[in-house]
Structures are given as structure tokens and as C-alpha cells.
């Protein structure tokens, strides 16, 4: 029994190492989140594109919206995490997240959705590893190709075609900001039918994009 467990443990470690190395060169064939979207909505709309073919507007928009310290932190924004914890404790429930783009990428590529301590612990490990091995450009590319951006819609290219019938590289500043505004709850919000909150967030992202410098 112990020999089997040991072999299984070594297999899991080796598989993870190979998957991480694979991720340097390729986008994931499929993720747990994408499988969930396929089951729930009966479709998997995605189209992986290279970093250069994404265009700069969407890169600036998601960084402005989700993680403005992306290029300077080591995978974790400790001030944002502390701020989120204080706000959640005050409200008595999870109302704010402190995850960086790197953490979200680790979760989207390697793990499943949820808020368990086991999942968060694994997320921290994967975040540390991809920050060291992948680097910022690969992390951002994998993030923009895998993140859910609508009901059964994954990645910026599919989202751009779905919402605006154009390639991601041709998105205007405003269009990119609208797509970024639905994060992190694309199942609830729709750029085509924006709520007052989404309009306010869109305007804020537009202003913040002026401060983002891509590396």
C-alpha cells in the first residue's frame, strides 16, 4: 500500500513538473474551469492567441482592473491581501479578493474554483513556481487566454469576437475596458447591457489605463 502511495506521489510530482514546463511553450489543452463552463453552458468558446496578437489595450485594461502592481510584485500583493482580509472580516463574508494576476493564472491553469484552504495553499505554491519559471509575459499570456470572460467564453480573443466581432488586437481602449470591467464576475455582468456599477467601473479602468506602462 505504501509503495503504491509513494509511486502515486512521485507520479503526481513528475506530472506537475512536466505540465509547468509544457506551460512555458503552450497554452493548456483545457482547464477545470473550462470544463465547468462547458458542462454548465453547453459550449466552450475560446481561441488561443499569442502575446503579440492580443494587442496592448486589453493588457493595460486587465492590469488596470485586476493588478496594477503586476510587473513589480513577486506574485503576491501583500497589501491588497491584508486589505481584503480586513474588509472581509468586517463584512463577515468574502466580499473582496486580493489575488494578483499571477495567482489567478495559477488557479485557472492548474486548479479548480473554490475558496478552500487546500486550494489556496496549492495556488500559492503554483504562483511562486510560475513567477520563477514562466516570467511576466508568459503569465499574462496564459491569463488572457484562459480566464473566463463570459458564459462559456474563455480568453480575450473569444471574448473580443463574442462582444465586438473583431480580433483582440483591434479592440479600442474603451472596448478593452468594457471587457476588463466584467472581471472577476463575467457570469453576472455583460458589457452589452452594463449596470450602473459596470459603467462606473469602466470609467475608472479607462482612467487607470493611462498609468499602465507595459514592460
Q: What is the pLDDT of residues 37-54, one digit of tens each?
A: 899 888 899 999 999 999
Contact 112, 32 (CB under 8 A): yes
**Number of domains the chain contains:** 1
Residue count of the chain: 215
d(CA 68, CA 190): 23
41 domain residue, yes or no: yes
Q: Which domain holds residue 143?
A: 2-209
Within a domain: 12:
yes
User: What's the grid cell of residue 26?
Assistant: 503552450
Predicted confidence (pLDDT) at residue 147 exceeds the cutoff of 90 = yes
Residue 58 belongs to a domain: yes
pTM: 0.88
Q: What whole-number distance in Å separates Cα of residue 58 and Cα of residue 197? A: 20
Residue pair 182/194 in contact (Cβ under 8 Å)? The answer is no
What's the pLDDT score for residue 10? Answer: 78
Residue 177 has pLDDT above 90, yes or no: yes
8 in a domain, yes or no?
Answer: yes
Backbone angles phi, psi at 213, to 5 degrees: -115, 120
Q: Tell me, what CATH number does 55's domain have?
A: 1.10.3810.10
Q: Is the pLDDT of residue 95 over 50?
A: no
Average of per-residue pLDDT across 182-202: 89
What is the model's pLDDT at position 82? 72
- Confidence (pLDDT) at 97: 62
Amino acid at each position: 500500500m505504501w509503495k503504491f502511495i509513494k509511486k502515486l506521489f512521485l507520479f503526481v510530482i513528475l506530472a506537475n513538473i512536466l505540465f509547468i514546463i509544457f506551460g512555458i511553450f503552450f497554452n493548456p489543452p483545457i482547464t477545470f474551469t473550462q470544463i465547468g463552463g462547458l458542462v454548465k453552458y453547453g459550449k466552450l468558446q475560446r481561441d488561443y492567441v499569442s502575446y503579440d496578437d492580443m494587442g496592448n489595450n486589453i493588457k493595460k485594461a486587465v492590469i488596470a482592473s485586476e493588478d496594477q502592481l503586476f510587473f513589480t510584485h513577486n506574485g503576491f500583493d501583500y497589501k491588497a491581501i491584508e486589505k481584503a482580509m480586513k474588509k472581509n472580516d468586517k463584512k463577515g463574508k468574502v466580499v473582496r479578493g486580493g489575488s494578483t494576476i499571477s495567482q489567478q493564472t495559477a488557479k485557472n491553469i492548474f486548479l479548480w474554483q473554490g475558496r478552500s484552504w487546500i486550494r489556496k495553499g496549492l495556488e500559492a505554491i503554483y504562483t511562486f513556481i510560475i513567477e520563477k519559471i514562466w516570467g511576466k509575459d508568459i503569465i499574462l499570456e496564459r491569463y488572457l487566454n484562459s480566464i473566463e470572460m463570459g458564459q462559456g467564453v474563455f480568453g480575450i480573443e473569444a471574448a473580443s469576437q463574442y462582444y465586438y466581432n473583431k480580433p483582440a488586437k483591434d479592440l479600442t481602449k474603451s472596448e478593452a475596458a468594457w471587457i476588463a470591467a466584467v472581471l472577476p464576475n463575467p457570469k453576472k455582468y455583460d458589457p452589452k447591457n452594463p449596470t450602473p456599477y459596470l459603467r462606473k467601473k469602466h470609467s475608472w479602468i479607462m482612467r487607470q489605463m493611462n498609468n499602465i506602462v507595459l514592460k
